[in-house]
Amino acid sequence: MKWINKSYAKPLIFFGALLITIIIGPFLPLHFKSLFYACSLLIKDLLIFSLPFVIFCLIFCSISVLGAKALKYIAIIVPLICTSNFINTMMSYLISGVAINSGILGSSMTACNNADGLTPLFSLNMPSILSNNVALIGGLIAGLIIGVLKKDLSVNICKYFNKFTNIFFKILFPLMPIFISGTALKLQHDGILVEICQKYLPILLVFSVSACGWLLLQFFILSKFNVSQFLFYMRNLVPAIVTAFGSMSSAAALPLSISAAEKNLSNKGNASIIVPSSVNIHLVGDCLFIPMVALSVLTSFGNVFPSIAMYLAFTLRFVLAKFSVAAVPGGGVLIMLPIMQEYLHMSPEMLGIVTALYILFDPIITTCNVLGNGALALVFDNVTKKFNK
């Protein structure tokens, strides 16, 4: 059980940093708050500067491995995953719109109690060398070509890319408590932290009910409305679900997800193709939760609910970025920060809230990711049967 303790460590540290900040924040000198907030913004700037290179490495490895191991299925898997991520992200928009219009989510924040909001002690504007879109498209094309034509070369390249991304996340995760605490100090100083704690708790209830209901409906449809078959699917997925909830990592639950898919699919061989291929890039929980929280935070700060055209532009980038997500605790939201900033026009304070809430709700999000991958495996199995015929 040692791996479960390690998986819990990061979210507990993040939560502890947030809690300590809330307790001691009012007693800290203004100069220290300003310095800490500046460090938080610096971490965000460094993250946005470095992410295009990380995105290229992650998407290259995901696509090249997919092309090498499942070349004959790539024309099915990639569109299937993109379609599923797109539908679930749009579903989040629909649910959020209903919840916000009914007043359940996104209640407006009051004006800052402190007329002089907390300002950073210093700021560093990092230049943009490579855009996320170029990194996404470049990694996709390079991974597809090299993964198909030069299998051995792609494996060697991925070894170095994986080392780079592992180092990046090892450096980043210890800095995340500073990012969260700096944002919390800013919100507390400006007098809206208490409102956040009160008004964003309903997100957990709305997300849990809507996400679980939506996923269970998918399984019920895939079982052709046969209750015994539906329960059979669910029973096989229980070990993977428990592991995902405890570890907060889809990768940690991967062996059990494959085992469950082998029992649920008519062709057991399909389990070893679709489940490993989708574990990093098909994240239903992220598709439902991140936009829901982002839209709720956006409207709570007095912004207008995005139009369908604006949200579609965000969704397309969001779906593409899914190919570069690392299935580790907190990894799903980190890649999305620049996209939310660019297409939803979210401020650093808003991004900090989204990050904190994502980390707090990570067990449920990861559980939904594993359930979604189980449903995708059934869809893939049905599609391949039709193609084989």
User: What is the model's pLDDT at position 11?
Assistant: 55
Which of 367, 369, 355, 376 shows the shortest CA–CA distance to 176? 355
User: What is the model's pLDDT at position 372?
Assistant: 93
Distance CA 133, CA 110 (A): 36
pTM over 0.85: no
User: What is the model's pLDDT at position 347?
Assistant: 85
User: What is the model's pLDDT at position 327?
Assistant: 47
CB 73 within 8 A of CB 148: no
Classify the phi-psi angles of 130: left when phi > 0, otherwise alpha if psi is within -120 to 50, otherwise beta: beta
User: What is the model's pLDDT at position 300?
Assistant: 81
Question: What one-letter code names the amino acid at 49?
Answer: F
Which of 255, 225, 261 shows the shortest CA–CA distance to 380? 261
Distance CA 301, CA 371 (A): 33
Helix (H, G, I), strand (E, B) or coil at 179: helix
Distance CA 379, CA 383 (A): 6
Residues in the chain with pLDDT values less than 70:
1-12, 14-15, 62, 66-72, 105-116, 126-128, 131-133, 136, 191-200, 246-249, 251-252, 324-332, 388-389
- Render 61-109 in DSSP notation, one character per residue: HHHHHHHHH-GGGHHHHHHHHHHHHHHHHHHHHHHHHHHHHTTSS-PPP
Assigned token pair, 63: 């696509």
Please name the helix (run of DSSP H) or strand (run of DSSP E) that holds residue 245, with its range, or none.
Answer: helix 227-247
Apex 334 CA angle, 345 and 133, nearest 5: 65
Question: What one-letter code names the amino acid at 112?
Answer: C
Domain boundaries, the chain: 2-388
User: What is the model's pLDDT at position 193?
Assistant: 62
CB 237 within 8 A of CB 260: yes
Where does 2-388 sit in CATH, by number? 1.10.3860
